[in-house]
Structure 1
């Protein structure tokens, strides 16, 4: 009953209450984001949701739009300014996802929504993580987040969908709050952002360059057809 009904109702109520209570904080972050990011404070990106239906994930922008003389965006570590780093370290950049939860794109707890170009490299078994709504946090996030391997992250996601309970979700929420306050497991050592799954597999030699390019083309095609 919880997994197939009550969970969505509770997610809606929680996200609505959180948006109302946190509205002063959101307004301040919108103003600061507009100033420090030089314009639109929001970042939207297509992500696969439940049943692999693609939706637009909303976050606060953590990287500015500085470009080189050829009009190309500078590397992530350059565009990740001090304000953006603050948002990531405190996980405040995730707050706009409350809107996604309110709309029904996401849940409070569930497998984190990965990129479409990550999804196409997953096995059929790993893609079962998309049989439920993705979450603001999940089992993988309280067990290492971005400092565990992709394989372990996906295993935690599959383990979560095997047994979704109210008490389990409450426990994960409390553990997530603890992780946020400790600012734990935010980035893999030596990276400004977590590495794409396809790049990770290519580096391990588990996919060929030909297969990598084919999967990337598949991801682009899925985005075109959304």
Structure 2
């Protein structure tokens, strides 16, 4: 992540892009072994006749879906998300280019959210009229804190955990992800989806 000083902006912070660089660096190392593995699947080895072209195509499509989603999210988050402070106004933009604009007074609250999913500490940037929920593990908390304090903005660490309801009462305009608002429902749907996906893969290969 970088913090860029600017006389007009104050500062601009971008996500840590080293994650996507690590992913890209792995691609060449996996390309040749993967090509050989696919050829073995198509033509078989020894007494094995192989899956044929249709089987390999099904394999690629099925496994490309979750991998493609992860890569798409990672790329979009790294290239679109940003936090900037200019002329007393804070702007937080997410991975779908949706921006939250916060005017003074602006503060940072370091909180823990009571949820059945593991979230760790989160940052709430803003006030009752407008606020953004930020995951510090995606932004490098020390760099964000340094830029925050360089602008003379206050920050507080909230010792007690907050439920989602308490957080909404404190910050009525805060957008909270579905996985935190409905953790049990989210976990159930995720589990059912994973089981269904595995069943689909097994069913496809049973028919090849």
TM-score computed with the length of structure 1 as normaliser: 0.27
**Greater strand share, structure number:** 2
TM-score computed with the length of structure 2 as normaliser: 0.29
Larger radius of gyration: 2
**Greater helix share, structure number:** 1
